[in-house]
Amino acid sequence: MLTPPMNRPWISANFALSVDGKISSADHKPAGWTSQADRERFRHLRQGVDALLVGRGTWETDRMTMLVRDQETQPLRCVVSRSGRFDPAHPMFAKPGGPIHLLVTGEKEPSSIPGATFHRESLASFLGTLARQYGVERLHCEGGGELLRVLAELDVLDELHLTWAGHTLFGGREAPTITGVPGAFFPASRAFELVEFQPVEKSGECFLSYRRQRL
């Protein structure tokens, strides 16, 4: 098992990509457009982590309950929002599972939701809070692109798992990529090493895993 960096968890992320590099359509098509094998990989990557992290938009679109199948100890369920608008009727709040932590990075004061712990801080600060106060050593991000972009800008992304789905072409200028809708460039490049390459001819997909190269 890899040793997490000081003051933050070891962070991995998982995304499915269309043949043109999109993670969804311009109208934000929900998850489920990839193969059964990819969905099994998605569930496998969740296993054994201490916390799951997702942006509010992806969480709402996919109606995510953030549970790990056949696992007694469930990870923390962490959702990030700038606006602080969390729907109390979302199915996650009705599903028993890991403790729920809601991060608000904007200025708006969120409404309280029973059973959820709210945090008012930056994403960088929140990562430190998870490590110090909650003992989180491994955190797994499941979207969306805007959240991954912030993680990449902070340079705290350690592993990246991709499913390249050669069977789907989303298109659309406003369709998001793994770093959100195409816009400004990063302030610097991020070097990753390819550590897994697994083509699956039957489904027209390829499983890829990368690890951040650090000096």
Rounded Cα–Cα distance for residues 76 and 130 (Å): 9
> Mean pLDDT of all residues in the chain?
92
Q: Do the domain assignments include residue 35?
A: yes
Q: What is the mean pLDDT of residues 4-8?
A: 74
Domain presence at residue 5:
no
pLDDT score, position 51: 98
Residue 188 is predicted with a pLDDT of 85
Domain-embedded: residue 155: yes
Reported confidence tier of residue 3, pLDDT bands at 50, 70, 90: low
3-state secondary structure 32-68: CCCCHHHHHHHHHHHCCCCEEEEEHHHHHHCCCCCCC
Helix (H, G, I), strand (E, B) or coil at 94: helix
Whether 141 maps to a domain, the answer reads yes
Q: Looking at the predicted structure, is the pLDDT value of residue 215 above 80?
A: no
Q: Report pLDDT digits (tens) over 146-205.
A: 999 999 999 999 999 999 999 998 988 888 899 888 877 888 889 999 999 999 999 999
- At residue 187, the pLDDT reads 81
Based on the structure, what is the number of domains in the chain? 1
- CATH code for position 185: 3.40.430.10
Share of the chain above pLDDT 70, in %: 97
Asked, for residue 139, whether it belongs to a domain, the answer is: yes
Q: What is the pLDDT of residue 107?
A: 83
Q: Is residue 1 part of a domain?
A: no
Question: What range does the domain containing 89 cover?
Answer: 10-212
For residues 29 and 149, the model is more confident at 149
Confidence label for 12 from pLDDT (cuts 50, 70 and 90): very high
Residue 88 belongs to some domain of the structure = yes
Phi/psi of residue 30, each to 5°?
-65, 165
Residue among 79, 109, 111, 106 nearest 92 (CA): 79
pLDDT above 90 coverage of the chain, percent:
76
Q: Are 20 and 165 in contact (CB under 8 A)?
A: no
Q: Is residue 177 a part of any domain in this protein? A: yes
Is the pLDDT score of 1 beyond 50? no
